[in-house]
């Protein structure tokens, strides 16, 4: 039976069928021909053109398989880069979009038998980040273009500069705190009061410093008043009738001269109150500055990734079996911030896992830990106190410019044990 003529209903029906996707089992990759049914595929395999292609394939099969594998991988990675970028996506979803094109390279012509084998190969070669979940394999494209590498280098340089400025600011604040504390301790030492004790062997001496007062009526000093008193007494002996009045006047004058002046204490109180108010105001301003710097550090250093080399972690994925579930391991290498190469402490097995399948480990008291996230990210410290009710700890920085600083209410997930 010959082909249908152009324009006939049979011809149009054949064209409409040819537009859609057909079964993969009836596709010949060597001839790049899609058959609609089993009979058509059988007729194609018996054709002379197909036999010639098979002879070419038999001469160098590795060359053709390598070519088909490269074309398939290039098309898959191009779709992943252009369509999804660096987002984490299901590998099967990308594959379904790739095979929707009619002229794609079929996987049965490549060296990979399944999609899982291909995804594992991409992860081993470092082209993507591959992780297996309950919903299947997920891939994340790694952009290694010169533009992306330059952007990453600039971002790392900027982060390093900000961290250096932050360390200098923290050192300046620490010096200010030490100066304020030393000043406060010196003022407290000046205000210390001692008990008044008398030496019974020594005689009691009173040192009265009397101020000279000016009398506007007489315009005379204290010595002139004393001389006037002595003259009045001498005249009183001769005048018996005025003796009592003269004696009263002299006593009043003597009391006025030798009266002890009061020392004003209002000025001292004002000075002490002004000193205390200045100390409290400077202290409150310093506290506000410290709180502001702490909030800034928290915003800069709080990331969505926390893996560090040399820390002890706990494996929490049940997919690998009960043998490795809840087992402790040490992080040997961090791969692209979100994945790590770990080695189990009991069995010695090595595995590449995502940080979602790991959690931090809290050591015993006075053991070294590493701050893996938050304001003090990357600092080594010692565990001082454990608050199980609020899921937080108290630590003390053990190295660096902040050595000796005590941090309260640090969350469990922000610290992890250091492998020793």
Whole-Å CA distances, 142 to 71, 148, 307, 359: 19, 10, 18, 25
301 CB-near residues (< 8 Å, 6+ apart): 373, 374, 375, 376, 377
Contacts 24+ apart (CB under 8 A), 5-13: none
Residue 29 to residue 134: CA distance in whole angstroms: 33
Which H helix or E strand runs over 325?
none
Name the token pair of 261. Answer: 């002046």
pLDDT of residue 58: 77
pLDDT of residue 90: 92
Q: Residue 363 in contact with residue 382, Cβ under 8 Å?
A: no
Residue 318 to residue 316: CA distance in whole angstroms: 6
Name the token pair of 336. Answer: 């692209």
Strands 33-34 and 27-28: antiparallel
H helix intervals, 239-303: 243-257, 266-301
Share of the chain above pLDDT 90, in %: 18
Share of the chain above pLDDT 70, in %: 75
Name the token pair of 206. Answer: 């009173």
pLDDT of residue 416: 94
Contacts 24+ apart (CB under 8 A), 246-253: 253/225, 253/228, 253/229
Per-residue pLDDT averaged across 233-241, rounded?
Answer: 59
Per-residue pLDDT averaged across 201-227, rounded?
Answer: 58
200 CB-near residues (< 8 Å, 6+ apart): none
Question: pLDDT tens for residues 92-107?
Answer: 999 988 888 777 888 8
Q: What is the pTM of this model?
A: 0.36
Q: Which residue has the tokens 């600083």?
A: 405
Name the token pair of 155. Answer: 């971002």
Question: Which residue did the predictor score with more confidence, 420 or 394?
Answer: 394
Q: Using the predicted structure, report yes or no on whether residue 72 has a pLDDT greater than 70.
A: yes
Residue 87 to residue 374: CA distance in whole angstroms: 24
First-to-final CA distance of the chain: 81
pLDDT of residue 35: 77
* Angle at the Cα of 307 from the Cα atoms of 311 and 164, rounded to 5 degrees: 95
Name the token pair of 100. Answer: 């929707």
């Amino acid at each position: 039976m010959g082909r249908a003529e152009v324009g006939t209903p049979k011809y149009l029906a054949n064209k409409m069928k040819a537009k859609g996707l057909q079964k993969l089992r009836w596709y010949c990759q060597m001839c790049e021909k899609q058959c609609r049914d089993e009979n058509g595929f059988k007729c194609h395999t018996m054709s002379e053109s197909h036999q010639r292609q098979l002879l070419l394939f038999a001469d160098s099969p590795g060359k053709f398989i390598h070519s088909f594998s490269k074309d398939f991988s290039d098309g898959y990675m191009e779709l992943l880069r252009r369509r999804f970028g660096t987002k984490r996506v299901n590998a099967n979803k990308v594959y379904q979009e790739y095979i929707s094109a009619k002229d794609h390279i079929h996987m049965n012509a490549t060296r990979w038998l399944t999609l899982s084998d291909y995804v594992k190969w991409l992860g081993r070669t470092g082209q993507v980040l591959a992780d297996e979940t309950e919903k299947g394999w997920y891939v994340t494209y790694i952009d290694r273009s010169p533009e992306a590498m330059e952007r990453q280098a600039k971002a790392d340089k900027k982060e390093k500069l900000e961290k250096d400025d932050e360390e200098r600011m923290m050192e300046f604040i620490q010096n200010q705190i030490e100066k304020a504390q030393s000043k406060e301790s010196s003022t407290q030492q000046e205000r210390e009061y001692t008990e008044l004790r008398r030496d019974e062997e020594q005689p009691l001496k009173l040192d009265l410093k009397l101020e000279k007062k000016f009398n506007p009526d007489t315009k005379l000093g204290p010595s002139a008043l004393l001389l006037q008193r002595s003259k009045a007494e001498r005249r009183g002996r001769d005048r018996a009738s005025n003796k009592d009045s003269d004696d009263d006047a002299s006593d009043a004058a003597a009391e006025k001269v030798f009266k002890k002046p009061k020392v004003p204490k209002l000025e001292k109180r004002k000075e002490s109150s002004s000193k205390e108010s200045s100390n409290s105001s400077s202290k409150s301003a310093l506290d506000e500055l410290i709180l502001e710097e702490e909030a800034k550090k928290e915003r800069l250093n709080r990331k969505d990734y926390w893996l560090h080399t040399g820390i002890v972690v706990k494996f929490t994925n049940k997919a690998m079996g009960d043998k490795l579930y809840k087992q402790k391991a040490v992080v040997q290498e961090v791969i692209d911030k979100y994945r790590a190469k770990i080695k189990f402490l009991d069995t010695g097995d090595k595995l590449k896992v995502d940080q979602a399948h790991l959690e931090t480990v809290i050591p015993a008291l006075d053991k070294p830990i590493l701050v893996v996230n938050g304001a003090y990210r990357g600092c080594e410290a010692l565990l001082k106190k454990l608050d199980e009710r609020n899921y937080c700890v108290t630590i003390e920085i053990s190295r660096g410019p902040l050595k000796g600083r005590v941090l309260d209410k640090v969350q469990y997930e922000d610290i992890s044990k250091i492998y020793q």
